[in-house]
Structure 1
Amino acid sequence: MDEPAQAPSGSVGDVPGVRVGHAQRVGEGWLTGVTVVLPPPGTVGGVDVRGGGPGTHETDALDPRTLVPTVDAVVLTGGSAFGLVAAHGAQRWLAEQGRGFPVSDVPGEVVPIVPAAAVFDLGRGGVFGHHPDVAMGWAAAAAAGAAEPGADVTRGTVGAGTGAALAGGRWKGGVGTASVRLDELGVVVGALVVVNAAGAPLGLGAPASAPGGPLGPDGAPRVTALPGEALNTTLAVVATDAALDPAETSRTATAAHDGFARALDPVHTLADGDTVFSLATGAVALPAERPARVAALVAVQAAAATAVRAAVEDAVRSASGVRTSAVHLPSWC
């Protein structure tokens, strides 16, 4: 397959039917939020968890060997393990719409499939106990449901990226997004990321293999051990309109992790919860015969890694106007 016909740009919203909603709270001790990616009904889901400190919900349900191959929404949240309750809010909103896995013949008796993952931003607004809740998850899902098809996706310090920081506070983290069009296949591959990494962004003036340290009072990096602040994570949702089966969708998530490695150093550490979800809406059929299909899958998976790398860079640039002093780094970091 040739290289992607178009350089990375755009957003995950370029994949037809995929919508994104954010909810966040800032001030009075708050600096956190939730992002919901809402795909069209029937979308196949997959996941690959690589970090040594993951905070996840319902990722086992995305194993290709399990009963339900489809996903109703993906929730990315702040608040570490506490924030995973936001998935219940998104699930509640979906149930109100009658969307989910039917468990009886009675209309509306459904169980929405809502995998989720969290980033560590506890205390960054000043109060450790301020983290996303069910109401915030519901609000982010409702915002995604209200988004116009094809609408641009808000990036920067919004949603799950509101309290994000990386490289020990040297950079403000946030939400970024990008897409790649594979003209030969008629396929779009998009990525949305929440960058809250222990590592530093490559190509933006950061030394390789240097997580750095929290900023001191004079604004200079304070090199310390980072027992708390090192609990970080980069999350991604990769979406495509290609028709993939559950195993192919999960493999796309695996390949997409290469985008993290191209954009951040170090990555996949013991202190990161790096996780990639993948979504395949099934709108565009790929070749059926094996040689051509394998080539098409390689192209889609390579584009996923490219889109993730571009989305990470987009997140860092989009949040660059926010001073890291806006992020409270507690003394235990």
Structure 2
Amino acid sequence: MQRKGGRRRDPDGQDAEAVEQVLDELYATPPSAFVPRREERAAAARTAGRKEDARRIHAARRPTLAAWAANLLTRSRPEETRRFLELGQALREAHRTLDAAGLKDLSALRRHIVAVLSQQAAQLAREAGQRLSPTAQREVESTLRAVLADPDAADRWAGGRLETSLTPPSAFPSAFPSGTAPPEPARTGPRASARPKSPRTASGTRAKDELAERRRERREERERAEQEAERAERHLRDARAVQADAQESLRRADDELGRVRETVAAAEERLRAAHEDLERAEGERREAEERERTAADAVAGAEREARASARRVDRPAGRDR
């Protein structure tokens, strides 16, 4: 049944697309917040009467930190993810045609690109508030190596819902021992010994054509791999430039913080001295008030004595008249 707006409902009327969006959201959530977010979304589905949705949401397993970082890389870097998946397909194909020297070059290229992308995953995790331990970093690299070697692992990683890190196969698919030639393409029909012999010139021409075709394919694979490596190098340079800018901003912020702290310390010292001056002035004022009261009392006493003396002086003069 098709809903208005293009969303599909599953047979029991539940919004399947909404469930997928919830699961995408959960696997983009840091592991420390995964379980509370999952229970919140499952409870909302149950409250809305969507029991099957709630069951699916509740069944989602919390990813390890390394798996979450690999999921974060997939969701945050879609273009790099697409190119990395294409590179894996090209490398698996190249292993069927390259010679030992070419395989050695490809192995070095794989290690380099995996290291670059794992550093990007660690940077994304730090930006999201999570720091990868050395063990988690190695698990991210293991997942990326598995994506290059195994198409099933590539599909799982591309879905962005890994629960645990992936383990690459012990040997790269279609690889052959060092120093041996790549296998010849499968032939149908009777064995070579039973085929009618061809003229020597025709056989030599076919061999040259096949060799030229294999060389052309190897050259094209190498060129594609080198282009991927160059793009990865550019991304790494851009990331390092961003990191350098952030470090410079942090240094300037530290300098400004130091200046502000010095200003605050000087202001606090001035405030302390002002408090001391205020306390001293208040003490002096209290002393002055005490002296003023003492002086006022003395003046009042002197005035009383003067009035009494004046009265004594005036009385005898009144009696003589």
TMscore range, shorter length: under 0.3
TM-score norm. by structure 1 comes to: 0.22
Q: Please state which structure has a larger fraction of its residues in helix.
A: 2
Higher relative contact order (CA 8 A, sep 6+): 1
Q: Please state which structure has a larger fraction of its residues in strand.
A: 1
Larger Rg: 2
